[in-house]
Structure 1
């Protein structure tokens, strides 16, 4: 290998080793992997092992952010995005404007920056780190939560705002207004180019890409599908960047237009592996870009500045979210998620330096400040995640309703989709029913059924007694949690041994548990619906209704006989009394197949061979 090839190989190996080491260590310490990537980036950067040029690495690593936005676009649909427009332009505008104003005033009056430098600094620091925020939300599975959707809306607005913000900086430079007045056509050309780029992506996404993927899918070449997926992402990003817009925004638009494609899951699988690795490199590049010498020379001012930035951004985001009626704890999570400076700061500060708005020392300090917030943000998020459960008092259980007026002959516990149907059958026959549920939202929506549901926890003996469990003719346990169902059965059997218990079962093993507990009747929640479905399928195939009903009745009888035999002999006979608990019950045919199973591909053939060897 030549020298350059050796350097490239060594840098690649260093990044891979860093990624492998940092994630387990960060997880072990209870931190987000982002923290590990950032700290490892410092170690392999210029102040450490100096494995590569941070500028070159950052250019490549930005592809991770591009692919992340593409995947997020795939998860959304245009209709969903339109429904979020209030959050995107409402919350997004409020957050960006208020934060930028606060920072600009601090820079102008507190640090003595010029007006243009203060505006540029305020705008750059007010934009949050898209990659960091989405990674933190994704790790906890909170992107689809109300606060996660609003957080994403703000990030999306910031990506959209990159375009006018980049155009604003030259206008703030000395003589910028005069330059605009002399050449308004250039500004109009730039705007037209941006619109044209968006139009090309929209038209291609709607009319060209699906036929292309269809042709590639027919060819059976998976590597061609992977190449096409990367081509779409990089093509859309490159086109938008050439038009002076955000590359990540272009990738997001491409993903959004393909969100309803039949090839969505294939595209997602092909891009996701690249996305994860490139994002790791991106976070490492941020750590590498931190100028440690600048930090060491200005430790007090940078620490104070970092604290001011995270506090101001957190307070603004918290107030914006609270104004939108988001819960206090979720507003706190959002404020910490968005407190870090964004990737945009590393573009805007050098641009401000090149146009003469910022001085060299100001730009260096602001870049170091942005990098420190990106390191501090994930650490504070991890700390808040640990601290919130301790600080948030346990939600007090509301007292059970007054059951004075409850005089039903049947007590139904649980008013979910199963309990609703059971209750409708009873009410249609004018049977007096007492219904209890511990889900407040379910109780609030029960008015549509014309019934009154009492609030109460069916796993508590005092609530059961107050609801009339000792006097009703039948107790129907319709809860959707088998542990709760078992607990109710055990309580009733111990305190009211003569009560008749009809219980919803989760699966076959749960049915056996309930029968062992002595319930009067149990029914697997999917059994009868599946049998009815099978009967209708038989009639659709031309089988007479009488024969179809007879066949279904025979399957029902066979299934019941097997359940009773398994209950008597044990599913895993000879393995001990409770050996079947927690063991997986393999499905077995109730009727002996006339033909052996025929595999349709090599994978299925291998599975069937192992299954035959095991059973033999």
Structure 2
């Protein structure tokens, strides 16, 4: 018992110490886990032969991760991505297998061994890639979605690969093996299934998939309602784990990928009312198990074999990454994936993946590849996975900024006419302002620093020009001297304040209306010279609060009265609050005087609302007809 606890303590200490440091250095958690594994394994020799056993257990983190991915992907969304899934994913696997197989044959390998190598290296790391995409917020980008499509097809292709590998067995390897070493039949399938003919086994597989869909769609909701009624959160967590483990066991029983089965279950449950509860229940287990899996990958590197074959392993690893990157780049161009999205697909999938370990071991067990080659291939898979976070860092620090600079380096447009109002920013805020002005016959000149946003506006017949409104020369070409008003609707706090300062000093005749993020930002804009500021969330939040009052049963006319009272009090107090903020010499801008005035504001609002309630109660209740007329008036 002490030995197990000590091993667990070593793994946890490695994760707690190394991962936060790696994260702070910008290396990402995945690379941190891999480094932690190398430190406690090959470097310190604190863990030993149990690493492989723990890795099999930790692979369940991949299963949970695919379940969570499925929960975020409704069946309709999965159907909509079928072209990417089959086209892009299928071509990636097929072209990579053919190219790597051909290269291996040219290097003197027998065709069955060469094909097995091609199958192993065609796969990428679902665990590392999806985890990193999620960490960096790239999973919703076009590049992230295409990457996910390829990974999902690879997981499906693993089933076919596991069925094919036993057919590639070499007689000489089988003859040299000890009796009982071989594992024949379908991967992971139980003994009675391996004895079935092919058509019967196919029916069993179809039945297992159908069972997952039927149970997930028709019976799981009733089960979750029953468990939720108990009010015990730990029981709901146990139920969620029971569902994931049960489906994984069923898929493994019939020789299918457990990760693929749980992904399918997640898709089925994507529209369930228990979706978010399921996510919160299993998410902690996914993070812990994935971290453990990455540590075991680092700890499982055989340093002796690596040092003895360092040149061969390094050459093969780099060749695999380069070859896969070229193939992915070509397919991205074929499928019109451009810019940073193309680079994201290319760099994120250039490695081998964790299912490569499964295929290597399975090929070894079925006498397809010799033991020495299996060791080398495992090292290549592990080393390529170890280099993957570095490829993401290359994308994030070198590739993406270059495209941003390229976009910003585009020559600013020269507006063809001047306008009464110049608007800086044509995002969700600026669009509404511009639309209202143009609809009322006010001529506007709209500037935005995002070229793609300007192009989008022009596609919907909204005049907009590319240019950075914070630069005086751009404002000059936009005709700021002839304009009467400047609306600052950009989402950069510091740039908006600087813009107000410049305009007030260089062009004091311009009326400046500025978008504020909050009360403090509004004060800064006003202090810089803005004539009018509005918090972007103030009026929408006020309207939401008014609707909440209406939903509680308060009469609409009373709600409007109280909303007006709230606005009046805010307006009356705004100058006093601003003066208190501006008078603070500490630089913090929020002193005791300001806080006192703010509390007075809260008190005045509360008193006004209470007074309104008293007035409403003392007023004579209207007759039914009168009440109807009031409602008709406010409808």
What TM-score results when the alignment is normalised by the length of structure 2? 0.83
Aligned residue among 504, 513, 522 for 2:524: 513
- Map of 1:136 onto structure 2: 132
Q: Does 1:171 align with 2:185?
A: no
- Map of 1:591 onto structure 2: 606
Shift of 1:348: 1.8
Q: Does 1:127 align with 2:123?
A: yes
Q: Deviations over 1:276-304 (max 9, x none)?
A: 11112212222343333332332322222
Confirm or deny: 8 A CA contact 1:229 1:271 kept in the other structure. yes
- Map of 1:317 onto structure 2: 328
Q: Deviations over 1:459-509 (max 9, x none)?
A: 122222332322223333333443333222212101111222233333222
Confirm or deny: 8 A CA contact 1:504 1:524 kept in the other structure. yes
After TM superposition, list the pairs within 5 Å mapping 1:89-488 onto structure 2: 89-110=86-107, 112-173=108-169, 186-383=197-394, 385-388=396-399, 394-395=405-406, 396-406=408-418, 408-447=419-458, 450-488=461-499
- More off after superposition, 7-16 vs 330-339: 330-339
- More off after superposition, 255-264 vs 24-33: 24-33
Do the aligned partners of residues 91 and 422 (structure 1) sit closer, same or farther apart at CA in structure 2, a change above 3 Å counting? same
- More off after superposition, 340-349 vs 374-383: 374-383
Shift of 1:159: 0.5
Q: Does 1:85 align with 2:97?
A: no
State the distance in 2 between where 1:38 and 1:519 align. 52
Do the aligned partners of residues 404 and 56 (structure 1) sit closer, same or farther apart at CA in structure 2, a change above 3 Å counting? closer
Structure 1 regions of 5+ residues with no counterpart? 596-616
- Map of 1:73 onto structure 2: 70
Confirm or deny: 8 A CA contact 2:484 2:509 kept in the other structure. no
Confirm or deny: 8 A CA contact 1:190 1:244 kept in the other structure. no
Query: Tell me, what secondary structure is at the counterpart of 2:579?
Result: helix
Do the aligned partners of residues 524 and 189 (structure 1) sit closer, same or farther apart at CA in structure 2, a change above 3 Å counting? same
RMSD, matched Cα: 3.1
Confirm or deny: 8 A CA contact 2:469 2:475 kept in the other structure. yes
State the distance in 1 between where 2:11 and 2:460 align. 60
- Map of 2:622 onto structure 1: none
Confirm or deny: 8 A CA contact 1:478 1:504 kept in the other structure. yes
State the distance in 1 between where 2:330 and 2:465 align. 37
Aligned residue among 551, 572, 590 for 1:580: 590
Query: Tell me, what secondary structure is at the counterpart of 2:446?
Result: strand
Aligned residue among 558, 565, 568 for 1:554: 565
Shift of 1:575: 6.5
Query: Tell me, what secondary structure is at the counterpart of 2:59?
Result: helix
State the distance in 1 between where 2:459 and 2:393 align. 43
Query: Tell me, what secondary structure is at the counterpart of 1:151?
Result: helix
Shift of 1:35: 3.0
Do the aligned partners of residues 17 and 551 (structure 1) sit closer, same or farther apart at CA in structure 2, a change above 3 Å counting? closer
What TM-score results when the alignment is normalised by the length of structure 1? 0.86
Q: Deviations over 1:407-460 (max 9, x none)?
A: x33333333333333333333333333333333333333357655333332212
Do the aligned partners of residues 544 and 141 (structure 1) sit closer, same or farther apart at CA in structure 2, a change above 3 Å counting? closer
Q: Deviations over 1:304-360 (max 9, x none)?
A: 222222221222122222322333544334333222222222222232223322222
Pairs aligned (count) = 583
Structure 2 regions of 5+ residues with no counterpart? 175-183, 186-193, 612-635
State the distance in 2 between where 1:290 and 1:232 align. 33
